[in-house]
Amino acid sequence: MSAARTARTARTVLAAALVAGLAGGVLAAPAFAAAPPGPSHTATQQALDAAVAEGVPGAVAKARDGKERWTGTAGVRKGEDRFRVGSITKTFTATVLLQLQAEGRIDLDDPVEKWLPGVVRGNGNDGRKVTVRRLLNHTSGIYSYTADPSFQQRVFGPAFLEHRYDTWTPEQLVAIAMEHAPDFEPGASWEYSNTNFVLAGMVIEKVTGHSYEREVERRVIKPLKLRATSAPGTDSRMPQPNSGAYSKLRRDTTGPTYDVTDLNPSIAGAAGEIVSDANDLQTFYRALLKGRLLPPAEMKEMTDTVATGRGTDVRYGLGLFQQKLSCGKEVWGHSGGIHGSSSQAVVTRDGEHSLAANFNADWTGDSQALIDAEFCGTAPKKQ
Helix (H, G, I), strand (E, B) or coil at 325: coil
Q: Could you read off the pLDDT tens digit of each residue along the chain, which spans 383 residues?
A: 333 333 333 333 333 333 333 332 222 222 333 334 445 799 999 999 999 999 999 999 999 999 999 999 999 999 999 999 999 999 999 999 999 999 999 999 999 999 999 999 999 999 999 999 999 999 999 999 999 999 999 999 999 999 999 999 999 999 999 999 999 999 999 999 999 999 999 999 999 999 999 999 999 999 999 999 999 999 999 999 999 999 999 877 778 999 999 999 999 999 999 999 999 999 999 999 999 999 999 999 999 999 998 778 999 999 999 999 999 999 999 999 999 999 999 999 999 999 999 999 999 999 999 999 999 999 888 76
Active site residue 87: yes
Contact call for residues 349 and 320 (beta carbons, < 8 A):
no
The DSSP secondary structure of 212-268, one letter per residue, reads HHHHHIIIIITTTT-TT-B--TT--PPPSS----EE--BSSS-S--EE-----GGGT
Compute the C-alpha angle 200/192/359, nearest 5°. Answer: 95
Q: 346 vs 44, 318, 320, 349, CA distance in Å?
A: 14, 15, 10, 9
Residue 26: closest CA among 241, 248, 290, 231:
248
CA atoms within 13 A on the CB side of 269: 27
Contact call for residues 273 and 266 (beta carbons, < 8 A):
yes
pLDDT of amino acid 12 = 35
Contact call for residues 59 and 52 (beta carbons, < 8 A):
yes
Task: Show the DSSP H helices in the chain as ranges.
Answer: 3-10, 17-19, 42-53, 89-102, 112-115, 132-136, 149-155, 160-163, 170-178, 194-208, 212-216, 278-289, 296-302, 368-376
Please state the φ and ψ torsions of residue 251, each to the nearest 5 degrees: -85, -25
DSSP3 helix / strand / coil % (the chain, rounded to 5): 35, 20, 45
Q: 158 vs 229, 258, 273, 362, 382, CA distance in Å?
A: 29, 10, 21, 14, 32
Helix (H, G, I), strand (E, B) or coil at 144: coil
pLDDT of amino acid 255 = 87
Residue 354: closest CA among 59, 69, 56:
69
Contact call for residues 204 and 106 (beta carbons, < 8 A):
no
In this prediction the pTM is 0.91
The neighbour count for residue 121, using CB atoms within 10 Å, is 14
Residue 44: closest CA among 255, 330, 353, 302:
353
Q: Name the active-site residue from 87, 247, 342, 354.
A: 87
